[in-house]
Each structure stands twice: as structure tokens, then as C-alpha cells.
Amino acid sequence: MADQIVAESGANTIDVNDPALAARAARQRRKAAWAQAEISVRKVLLAWMEDHPGVPMDESVSGECVKAGTACFSDLDTPIGCASDPRSEAQMVAGLARKTFKALRAERPFRVERTEQEWNALFPRYPSSESGDGFMMALDADESEGIRATMAKYGLCVIRGALSEETCDATVAAMFDEVNEDRTRLGMTGPAVSPSDPASWDTKNWPAKSKFLVRKVALHPQAFANRCAPSVVKVFEALFKTSKLRATVDNWGIVRGAKHNPKWKAGLKPHWDLNPFSFRGYCDKGQDPGYQGLIALSDQTLETGCHLTLPGGTSFLPLWIKENVMPLTVNRKSLRPDQDDPIVKYMQPIPLRKGEMVVWSWGQLHGSTDSDSDVLRLQQYVRLYPSPEAGEAYDYEGHDRYGCVKTLRRCQKDGNVTADELLGILTNSMSSDFLG
């Protein structure tokens, strides 16, 4: 009958003179056509992604998706869109293609097969010292251009003489004064922990059982003095191109020699402290998430264990993101690569001389090597970042868990530092500018 149509949802007839029923039938046809377009676009993208692993969607495949998707609308009596969506059918399918491509990338990333030569080109070795003494090339703190160029190429830079040997010795003494003062505060018995007495290194003898073996950040006046040492400050001024900086209030680093105790052997597994997807998100907005650093208070060799990094890793992140699964929730938490990720084998140990500092980008995959020594590996974690007065869009103070203002407030609240002690630190060790 001319005045009746058959609804696709069943065998019932719809009277075309009933506008509501006719509109419902039209909506059902549009819905079915859109579902078919989703299938068609997905097929196009899957075929293209098989032939172009790890490659971003380009205009050519977007055009193929639009052609395949809009073909599904040819039999419709009314447009696929609605009054509230002014886009054309082609624009709507192009948007569908982008959304589908992102979903497929999360479902089934395609790792690119590379030759050994190609991998080595992506991850150039950080240069060794010209003296051949087993350590690395180091720059002076006032070599601003060299520091920035080295960071851009390798994602890290080693700095010569960040602290003098005498300052390193004084810092080690301060570290263990603080460790043993905390033991006393906790009512712990047994021998004082000594860097020269392996018998005192048993886990039960330390204030904490965590990887740092201490339960609070480094609060000794010497630790604050190191954070604003001229050589340290110069490096971060060079990287951020500003003198308006603040220092984090970070930890001591203590790693026990594991030669006679294999339980202490393992180093830190490869990881990013800032999720790579978050890191690139900030970079795409023109923001620099910053840099981390540590100062070696004793020689760090292959035997004692040392910093481990992926040279060129920060530059590789845009490709790595395209070839790996994006987490369902992208946040700032640390992330470890898969055990079979081919990039891990290209990581490089970075031995450090006593007093040297290694600084690395938050985008660097890093960790530490195992200890096979009978001595401690001692270090202080340091970094500076632009203060709010620098006018940066990135919220360094808010994002950094060791941001100076909130960390010192927390330490005061927990009773780990008094107002008088803080005043003494500000007066004797560093400008208040570095602590906010």
C-alpha cells in the first residue's frame, strides 16, 4: 500500500500519515546506516594499520574512511546528522575515523621491527671519558650551551665537580648523623649505622625498611647547602633559562654493597617517574616537565652499581607512544615498560665520579644497576625548578611530590623540623628564594 511502509525493526507496518512513527522509522534507518559506517571505517583502518605499523593516520586513509563511511548513507531519505550537529556527513565520518583510529591504537599497537643499526641510531651511547677511566664525559656547570645540547641529544648530562670531595665527605657524615638521630628518636637499639661498618647495615638497624632505608627527606643543613650549591644552581639555570628557581626537598640515596648479601643486590628496575603519555601531553602543550638529578657522594662504578638510562629515550617517546598501549587512565604515576620491550636492552650504565652530578629529563627511562660491591653507594637526590615568579604555565610546585613549600610544611606538621631549624637553614645555608 502506498500509504504504508515497513519498519526495519519488525514486521509491523507504519502509517506514513503518523509523523511520530515515520520519524522513528527514519531514525532507525539512520542508526543502522551509522552502525554500518562504523564497521566500514574500522575495516579500512585495520587494513591500513597492518601495512603502516606505528604510523599516524594521514589524509589519504582519512579520505578512504570518509568514502567508505558515507557510502553507507546513500539509501537514506534524510541526512545522517541532526539539527544540533551542523557538520556534513563527510565531517562526521572523518571524526569517526579519528576516534576509531585512537581506539584501535589502544587495542592493538603495532611495534615497528627495526634492525640493530636502526636501534643504535635511535639510542646513541652517552660518551665515555677521554681518559678511559671507566667514567663518563662530564661538562662544567658553566657550559650552558653544551649542557642544553647534551640534554637534547641524550636526555641526560653529567656535570663535573658539582660538589668538592671535601663537601661530599661532609655530606656523608651529615647523612649518617641524621640516620642515627632518627634511630634515637625511634628508640632503636643496637650499633649506630656506619658507612664503614657492614655489620651495621642489617635491614632491622635502619630507621625504615623502604628502598631509601630512611623514613624522611634529607633535612640536615648540609643537604640544603648542597641543593643551592653554585654549580648545581648553574646547571638548572642553563636548562630552564631562568634564575627564578626553587629547590625540591628530596631524599638521601643509600644502596648497600651486596657482595656478601645477595638480598641487597638488585637495582631499581627500568621505569619512567612520570607516565610517558602524560609527559608528551605536557610537551605537546609547549610545557617542559623538567629534570631530575643526583649527586654521587662516592664513586659509582659498575661494581657498586650506578645510574642506568636510555640515551636518546626522551626524543624517542613520540614513537614509543605510537607503538604501545595507552593506559585506560593516563595520570602522572610512574610506569614500567613491558619486560619484552626492545628498548630496555639499549639502556646504558652511567658510572659517576665522587662529586659528579647526573641530570636527566623527566621523559627518560631510567633505573640503576645491581651492586656487586662491599661498599655503600651514596648519593643525594637534587633538582630545581622554576618558581611561580618565573611565570611558567607548568605547575612545578604543585606537580612535584618534593616541591619545597609543601614538603617543608609536611615536615613541620610531622615534627621532623622546627620553625627555628628552618630559620637557621634559611639564614646560614641558602637564600629563602630557593625555599619559597
Number of other residues whose CB lies within 10 A of the CB of residue 60: 10
Q: In what side-by-side order are the strands of the sheet with 307-309?
A: 348-350, 307-309, 366-368
Full-model pTM: 0.77
pLDDT at 3: 43
Per-residue confidence (pLDDT) for residue 351, from 0 to 100:
98
Distance CA 215, CA 208 (A): 5
What local confidence, expressed as pLDDT, does residue 211 receive? 79
Pairwise CA distance, residues 340 & 177, whole Å: 43
For the chain, what is the radius of gyration of the CA atoms? 29
* Angle, alpha carbons 272-277-282 (nearest 5°): 100
| The predicted structure's pLDDT at residue 105 | 75
pLDDT for res 433: 62
Which residue in 22, 35, 45 sits closest to 73, CA to CA? 35
Contacts of 52 (CB under 8 A, 6+ apart): 61
| The three grid cell numbers given for residue 281, joined into one nine-digit string | 601531553
Average pLDDT along the chain, 436 residues, taken 10 residues at a time: 42 60 83 93 89 78 94 82 67 93 76 91 96 95 98 98 98 97 92 94 91 90 93 97 94 93 89 92 92 97 97 95 71 86 97 98 97 95 94 90 89 84 66 61
**Per-residue DSSP letters for 5-49?**
EE-TTSS-EEETT-HHHHHHHHHHHHHHHHHHHHHHHHHHHHHHH
Q: How far apart are CA 74 and CA 331, in angstroms?
A: 43
Q: Which pLDDT score is estimated for 241? A: 96
Q: How far is CA 240 from CA 65, 109, 356, 381, in A?
A: 44, 34, 20, 18
Spatial contact of 350 and 154, defined as CB atoms under 8 Å apart: no
pLDDT of residue 409: 87
Task: Report how far Cα 202 is from the mean position of its chain's Cα atoms.
Answer: 32
- Compute the distance between CA of residue 222 and CA of residue 298 in angstroms, rounded to an integer: 16
Q: How many CA atoms lie within 13 A of 176 on its CB side?
A: 18
Q: Which of 389, 275, 394, 256 is nearest to 325 (CA)?
A: 275
Rounded Cα distance, 80 and 28, in Å: 11
Backbone angles phi, psi at 285, to 5 degrees: -95, 10
Sign of CA dihedral 220, 246, 151, 311: positive
DSSP state of 136: B
pLDDT of residue 402: 93
Residue 121 CB: number of other CB atoms within 10 A? 11
Distance linking the first and last C-alpha atoms of the chain: 83
What pLDDT is recorded for position 279? 93
What is the CA 89 to chain-centroid distance, rounded?
40
Pairing mode, if any, of strands 252-255 and 377-381? antiparallel
